[in-house]
Amino acid sequence: MILLVLLASILILVVTVYQYDEQTKDYNIQRFERKEATTKQTIELELKNKTTYPVNTANLPKIFQERIYEISSINKLNISIYDLEGNLLKSSIASAFEKIDAKPIPANVLKELAQNSNHKILKTREEKEIGYQSSYSYIHDPKFKRIGILELQFTQDNSEIEKELREFISRLGLVYILMFLIAIALAYFLSSYITRSIKTISDKMEQTRLNERNEKIILNKASSEIEILVDAYNNMIDELEESAAKLAQSEREQAWREMAKQVAHEIKNPLTPMRLTVQSFERKFNAEDERAKEKLTEFSQTLIQQIDVMSSIASAFSDFAKMPTQKKERIEVISVVKFALDIFAEEYIKYHSIEKELYANLDKTQLIRIVTNLVKNAIQATDQEETPLIEVKVLSEDENIKILVSDNGKGISEEVKNLIFEPKFTTKTSGMGLGLAMIKNIIEAYNGSISFTSKEKVGTVFTVILPKK
């Protein structure tokens, strides 16, 4: 729209200047032709009625000796009279004021004049904002015999006209600038109105999430094309919610299947030795044996040990299945972390803290659980190292607490990095792989985060960030 206004303004300006220039030229020519017709009539009357000299070429300078100045002054023209060969006979240009151009008429002008059916030619030129119109025609005696050539020259100073044109263009330019500014403002508001509906759709699309409830778009006023787009988006939201529900249900079912398989697998592990122990006891037990009581005690301890394993499996899965309860209390983090590390006897576990005291609203038991789980993983990762080293650091960053647990163990391979926090995933030969998944749930329940960096054969650093409030 703005481009069209700009192009239209430029086109109108060019056409206006061109039209103004053409009108000026036409006006000057018409004005000159009127003066030319009057001058010719005056000369013809002079030759017919007023002169006492014989009308011929030789007497032309005498006939118009003084009269040529009067005619030139009345019509405001420069008058020059030539013989038929183009030589100057008389001119109205006074030598006292201007130098008389005594040059003859060029041969090509004479030839063109002779060949013209009207026996008249018109020449126009412009120099330094001054326009010159010159006409050449034959002078006839009363019997229509050619006796000379008449040159009439009209001089028009175009500087005033050019000034008026510049003033007109400047005024027109101001109008066009105003129109251009109005066009910009109108285009802005119009485009904003047109794209407002599209912006609403765009914002809604950016906010669309698979696992969240998405709002539909409701527009009161919109074009038919926008309404079609809105209907398509709303239909997509319905389909997306339906697909998300199906996906969530499928994921839950799959998760429970995997969990059931894992529970069954873990329970089978202690059941097998329990079965073998019972069968062995049934075959070998002799009530009359002197060591019968000792064997019964040994059998009972074996069963109790396997039952305890099953109980711990059930407790672990129960703890993972339920979200950790947020029990917030004001605790001193430094002392709690130290307390959590006191249960470990390994001398290669080092503790660092810049702050002497650091308070936060957290659950003491869960914080101990986080630290001990990470340190246990670090110990298991460094069990093959000759000089193992585990460092635990506690830092304060603005409104957060940062806990870093680093080791120089075997590290985590690139293939399994994205599975570290998955339930039942483990790189160890024993365990259920629920430790990191459980502490991740605990940390996220406090709106915190856990991350890690690892390099094979170099070590791993786990970073825990928990809010102070």
pLDDT, tens only, 315-367: 666 655 555 556 778 899 999 998 888 888 888 999 988 888 889 988 888 88
- Asked if pLDDT for residue 96 goes beyond 50, the answer is no
| Residue/partner pairs of 202-211 with CB below 8 Å, 24 or more apart | 204/233, 205/233, 208/237, 208/240, 210/240, 210/244, 210/247, 211/244, 211/248
Give the residue, 328 or 36, on which the prediction is more confident. Answer: 36
CB 47 within 8 Å of CB 141: yes
Q: For residue range 160-177, list pLDDT tens digits in order.
A: 777 887 888 888 888 888
The verdict on 309 and 279 lying in the same domain is: yes
Give the residue, 266 or 93, on which the prediction is more confident. Answer: 93
Of the pLDDT bands very low, low, confident and very high (cuts 50, 70, 90), residue 299 is confident
DSSP state string for 408-420: -SS---GGGGGGT
Within a domain: 185: no
- Asked if pLDDT for residue 269 goes beyond 70, the answer is no
Within a domain: 191: no
Q: Look at residue 108 in the predicted model and tell me its pLDDT.
A: 87
How far is it, in rounded angstroms, from Cα 391 to Cα 348? 8
Among 135-149, 337-351, 397-411, 424-438, where is mean pLDDT lowest? 424-438
Count of structural domains within the chain: 3
Average pLDDT, the chain: 79
- Asked if pLDDT for residue 273 goes beyond 70, the answer is no
How far is it, in rounded angstroms, from Cα 253 to Cα 248? 9
The verdict on 11 and 160 lying in the same domain is: yes
Of the pLDDT bands very low, low, confident and very high (cuts 50, 70, 90), residue 43 is confident
CB 326 within 8 Å of CB 363: yes
| Residue at which a domain ends, from 165, 200, 216 | 165
For residue 445, what are the CA distances in angstroms to 218, 338, 368, 400, 411?
A: 35, 23, 16, 15, 27
Within a domain: 219: no
Within a domain: 198: no
Query: What is the CATH number for 26?
Result: 3.30.450.20
The pTM for the full model equals: 0.39
The verdict on 313 and 391 lying in the same domain is: no
Dig out the tokens for 354 from the structure. 């810049």
The verdict on 341 and 404 lying in the same domain is: yes
Within a domain: 341: yes
Within a domain: 179: no
For residue 163, what are the CA distances in angstroms to 13, 27, 128, 159, 279?
A: 16, 17, 13, 6, 124
The verdict on 313 and 361 lying in the same domain is: no
The verdict on 438 and 460 lying in the same domain is: yes
- Asked if pLDDT for residue 95 goes beyond 60, the answer is no
Mean pLDDT, residues 97-120? 76
Q: For residue range 176-229, list pLDDT tens digits in order.
A: 888 888 888 888 888 777 777 777 777 777 767 655 666 777 666 666 667 777
Query: What is the CATH number for 392?
Result: 3.30.565.10
Q: Look at residue 256 in the predicted model and tell me its pLDDT.
A: 67
The verdict on 303 and 359 lying in the same domain is: no
Output DSSP code: residue 25.
Answer: H
The verdict on 230 and 144 lying in the same domain is: no
The verdict on 309 and 452 lying in the same domain is: no
Nearest Cα neighbor of 150 from 267, 301, 35 is 35
Q: For residue range 375-400, list pLDDT tens digits in order.
A: 988 998 898 888 999 999 999 988 89
Residue 444: Cβ within 10 Å count: 13
Within a domain: 205: no
- Asked if pLDDT for residue 428 goes beyond 70, the answer is no
- Asked if pLDDT for residue 463 goes beyond 60, the answer is yes
Q: Which amino acid is at 194?
A: I
| Residue at which a domain ends, from 267, 300, 321 | 321
| Residue at which a domain ends, from 148, 165, 182 | 165
Q: Look at residue 255 in the predicted model and tell me its pLDDT.
A: 64
The verdict on 14 and 161 lying in the same domain is: yes
Give the residue, 327 or 16, on which the prediction is more confident. Answer: 16
How far is it, in rounded angstroms, from Cα 166 to Cα 240? 67
The verdict on 27 and 119 lying in the same domain is: yes
Within a domain: 182: no
Percent of the chain with pLDDT over 90: 10
Query: What is the CATH number for 249?
Result: 1.10.287
The verdict on 379 and 240 lying in the same domain is: no
Among 23-37, 145-159, 197-211, where is mean pLDDT lowest? 197-211
- Asked if pLDDT for residue 76 goes beyond 90, the answer is no
Instruction: Give per-residue burial for 142-161: e unless 16+ CB within 10 Å, then b.
Output: eeeeebbbbbbbbebebeeb
Mean pLDDT, residues 366-377? 88
Segments forming the whole domain that contains residue 366: 329-467
Nearest Cα neighbor of 113 from 79, 154, 85 is 85
Q: For residue range 44-62, list pLDDT tens digits in order.
A: 888 888 778 888 888 888 8
Q: Look at residue 429 in the predicted model and tell me its pLDDT.
A: 42
Output DSSP code: residue 210.
Answer: T
